[in-house]
Structure 1
Amino acid sequence: MSDRERNRLLLVLFIGVLMAALDIAVTGPALPAIRAQFGMDVATASWIFGIYIVANLVASPLLAKASDRFGRRTSFLASVVLFGIGSIIVATAVDVTMLLIGRAIQGFGAGGIFPVATAVVGDVFPVEQRGRALGMIGAVFGIAFLLGPIIGGVLLLFGWQWLFWVNVPIMLLIIGLGVRLLPTGGGNAGGAFDWLGSIVLSTILILSALVLQGVGDLVKQGGSLSTAMIGMIAAVIVLLPVFVWAERRAADPVVQMALFDRRQVIVILAFAFGAGMAEAVTLYLPSLLVSAHGMNESAASFQLIPLVLAMAVASPLSGRVLDKQGAKPVVLGGVALMAAGLLVLGVMPRDMTMYYLFSVLFGFGIAVLLGASLRYMMLGETEPSQRAPAQAILTIVISVGQMIGAALMGAVAVSQVDTTAGYALAMVVTAGVMLALLVVGIWLHPRVQTAPESAPA
């Protein structure tokens, strides 16, 4: 494949990931209008996001595995079509049930887009160009955060439904380009489909997501674990060894257990978990600004723009450095920047100059990890037949880190009498996690990544 063909392919992947990322950014502004139309209370409205997250987690490993059995093109386009169908259902919803079904289908489709896109990069881009490609795709999330409120504000003038209708022409564009440009890849897996492993894993992910969201609500509202939550925790503990047993005996498992025998993979997943925890910081920044500086919520939200700009700039830049220097110095540098930024804000939470310094340091650091580095390293540690499932595992670990991080930081914040001091302490605690990751980084491979044999395009 020529460089020109690769760049055109990268554009297709970029548009697909951007479509899913924009949905997250525009749904927030639409929430008041959706609640008003359907008469939803706050608890019910939270499921507009909650059911999307749960479906996304469940879909990631399943659609990633589908790309091994049926090919990258088929799986990627199927994910995009599912996302589009979900968007149509949401836009035409006549009641809350129909709305949530549409959101679940959207989340399920979105779950396959990013892992399969990353696997495609591993299949068709040579090692010396993977960092650049992954960096461009990683920059999508910063771009979506910047464009989302603007696009959302304009489309809301015509009705909240248009925030979802707009996905339909984008879906059709991706299908038209993807049929011609996406490689088939994958499609080489043999053996019976792993139904048992798929069902058990899906159950574990659904229960885990419900428990973590429930714990997050308890932290905010107070209270203790319900009998139902305790039962879900017990079920997850019981099902985990069942899943491992099922995967070890399956002819074509959803998750290759041998992947976890590699120390480097475990180190990568540790960084993914830590990065997810750190990303949860962004959920509390507006509240910190409201508490420390007396801003209203709208003004506080706009103060996230410097951080997002830093992310959008750093992701493609770090990708290019990855291609030249390898992952270890880039990853450790990113973690160090995050730790420094968190300490600056934790020690001086009432100084806006320090907040802007934090935004630059933390924005660059989190973009380095989540933009390209972790996926770059995972591609280097997996064979073509494991690329997509491994990327899905990475996505799941990051998401679990986000949910645990949000609950942990919320618990730390409410532990203090002074609200600002509570948020500041949460920043310092998260900085401690980043410093611990620097120690874990000792075990990162120092070499520039060497590519395994490429899958057929």
Structure 2
Amino acid sequence: MERHQVSSQKWAIGLFTVGVFMAGLDNGIISTALTTIGESFGVSPSWGAWTVTLYTLGLAISTPIIGKLSDRYGRKRLFIIEIALFGFGSVLVALSPNFLILLMARVIQAIGGGGIFIIGSSHILATLPKEVQGKALGMLGGMHGLSAVIGPNLGAVILSLTGSWQWMFLINVPIAIILILFAFWKLDESRPGTEKPLDMMGTALLTISILSFMYGITQMGNTSFHVVNLLFIVVGLIGFIFLVFHERNLENKGADPILSYSLLTERKYIGTLILGFLSGGFLAGIIFIPAFVQQVLNVPVEHAGYWVTPLALASGVGAGIGGVVTDKYGPLRAIYASGIIGIIGFSLFVFIVNGFVSFSIASALAGISLGILLGAPLNMLAGESAKETEKGTAIGTLSLIRQIGLTIFPAVFAGFIAISKTDGYRQMFLTAAALALLVILVGMLLAKQSHTKQ
């Protein structure tokens, strides 16, 4: 029976995997094109950075909302809509007549790309036997590592062959069309959720709160950060408080809140959200490793890509390992493994890294640790905490919290590096190792809580 369930979902898993890979590929590709795009529109680097900032804000806003909508209206329908939005956004980016249209197109891309992983993960948790969910979730997580390797390199190849950055985005269009056609043909619609009215007030509060808070946070690393930016953060936090009270009242009345208040008060889920936040710090530490290669190890920029390739490949391998360990031993043991490997990997950066071999060992361990944590175990824990009709909501909220961590920690790490490059990177890696230790401790608390309930 279980084998039949897995076999019947092979097409679905394959389509979700390709979709996640396409969205991840786009993130890597644009890193190659930022300077070229800025020059083609005659904008300064600070304005050019908004192509990334708005994409980040779009991801943060869309993930919890798309998760809820997929639970409510069906995952096949939302998957097709997400792919269509991502494809349309890609065309609009490539054909943008001015920089403002390009920024709007990047938001559309974010809304489309941000929900693909959420929908795929919630589908796996809702349809596959628990014993094989980890491998499938690990496959989705592994796509991030592979796309991180292929994206920048593919972007450089496309740019050198065509001489036009527009083709970097047009490459998404045929993939999106194929995914939509096969989704209509091969995907089965999940059972729609409640027919109660959509929580429009909660959706508006959630959007305003995320947008305000995340904008304030993204400005923390800028030298122009001032009281106005701090005000955005405060407004965002106040908005979240109002949102929680609104969702509680709505749930007490038997309505359908955009975020489940009962889920947000579940201890196991709160612990999972804390782990998600810490995983954002993990990922932030990884993001700074290429800069470490150039600024501390003095590797020329044209060779830096080769140095960081083992790191990205290792994250894909780690996602697969995390899936296998999660299926066989449970998500908490996978989390312990991630924390232990992360402590070793980040500590090696502080104490022994001085050349390619030592760097490759340290970065591979850090990548494996990140891959394990971002792949199966956290999504599995989130799914276990949620009802059948809330799995998309649970994973979407987890992704939002991870995105918040991924926004806050780079600002902290950049502050370390601004004071002193060598000592700053040392402090950053020590902080990342401390986060890995916290991951283990939070996992132990969750294990203790589960044991107490039993």
User: 1:65-92, CA deviations, whole angstroms, 9 ceiling, x for partnerless residues?
Assistant: 1112211111111111111111111111
1:160 is paired with a residue of what secondary structure?
coil
Distance 1:300 1:415, change over 3 A: same
Give the drift of 1:269: 1.2
Match 2:26 to one of 23, 27, 30: 23
1:171 is aligned to 176
1:215 is paired with a residue of what secondary structure?
coil
1:193 is aligned to 198
2:393 is paired with a residue of what secondary structure?
helix
User: 1:31-64, CA deviations, whole angstroms, 9 ceiling, x for partnerless residues?
Assistant: 2221221111101100111111111111111111
Match 2:411 to one of 404, 407, 412: 407
Q: Give the TM-score, by structure 1 length.
A: 0.93
Distance 1:388 1:19, change over 3 A: same
Match 1:107 to one of 82, 106, 110: 110
1:420 is aligned to 422
2:221 is paired with a residue of what secondary structure?
helix
Q: Is the 8 A contact 2:322 2:373 kept in 1?
A: no
Q: Distance in 2 between matches of 1:446 and 1:185?
A: 34
1:227 is aligned to 227
1:45 is aligned to 48
Kindly provide the amino acid, as one letter, of the partner of residue 240 in structure 1. Answer: F
Match 2:146 to one of 143, 154, 167: 143
1:248 is aligned to 248
Q: Distance in 1 between matches of 2:156 and 2:356?
A: 28
2:432 is aligned to 430
Give the drift of 1:309: 1.4
2:196 is paired with a residue of what secondary structure?
coil
Q: Is the 8 A contact 1:138 1:371 kept in 2?
A: yes
Q: Give the TM-score, by structure 2 length.
A: 0.93
Of the structure 1 ranges 114-123 and 152-161, higher mean CA displacement relative to structure 2 is found in 152-161
Q: Is the 8 A contact 2:35 2:45 kept in 1?
A: no
2:98 corresponds to 1:92: no
2:328 is aligned to 324
Q: CA RMSD in A?
A: 1.8
Count of matched residue positions in the alignment of Structure 1 and Structure 2 = 442
Q: Distance in 1 between matches of 2:248 and 2:184?
A: 35
1:454 is aligned to none
Give the drift of 1:351: 4.5
Give the drift of 1:447: 11
Q: Is the 8 A contact 2:335 2:440 kept in 1?
A: no
**What fraction of aligned residue pairs are identical, expressed as a percent?**
26
2:354 corresponds to 1:350: yes
Q: Distance in 1 between matches of 2:407 and 2:123?
A: 28
Distance 1:447 1:244, change over 3 A: closer
The runs of 5 or more residues in structure 1 that have no matched partner are 449-457
1:48 is paired with a residue of what secondary structure?
helix
Match 2:221 to one of 216, 219, 239: 216
Give the drift of 1:349: 4.3
Q: Is the 8 A contact 2:332 2:447 kept in 1?
A: yes
Q: Is the 8 A contact 2:340 2:437 kept in 1?
A: yes
Of the structure 1 ranges 8-17 and 154-163, higher mean CA displacement relative to structure 2 is found in 154-163
User: 1:209-268, CA deviations, whole angstroms, 9 ceiling, x for partnerless residues?
Assistant: 1111100223xxxx5x42321321221232122111221233111100111222111111
